[in-house]
Amino acid sequence: MRYDYIHLWSSEEEIRVQCTDPKTITLLEKSIKARFEDCTVTLKNDLDEEPYGAKVVAAPIKDRHQRIVWWLFKLMCNHGWEPIATGNHWFKMKYYCR
């Protein structure tokens, strides 16, 4: 049995994502670029050169980053991720892998 973990966080300036599954980071990057053309996505790699995190910056529109992170949260729920904690501008989720 294996679990993966993701943390989505937003502020007025940016969105940050950290995840134990590199494929999920790649999925998020592609989904964001396809849906929000004005966003820039910068990936962060771990010691194995696999993506573990992303920084997303969108056009400066009021509450834009919070709305995008909510969209990402819904996207992850649709892909089987389950919430384990939430806050004002952040979400933590887990995913059970067989």
Domain ranges of the chain: 2-97
Domain with residues 2-97, CATH architecture = 2-Layer Sandwich (3.30)
Q: Which pLDDT score is estimated for 1?
A: 73
44: Cβ–Cβ under 8 A, 6 or more apart, which residues?
Answer: 51, 52, 53, 54, 55
Contact 19, 53 (CB under 8 A): yes
Contact 6, 97 (CB under 8 A): no
Q: How confident is the model at residue 90 (pLDDT cuts 50, 70, 90)?
A: confident
Overall pTM surpassing 0.75 (yes/no): yes
Contact 52, 22 (CB under 8 A): yes
DSSP H or E segment with residue 73: helix 64-78
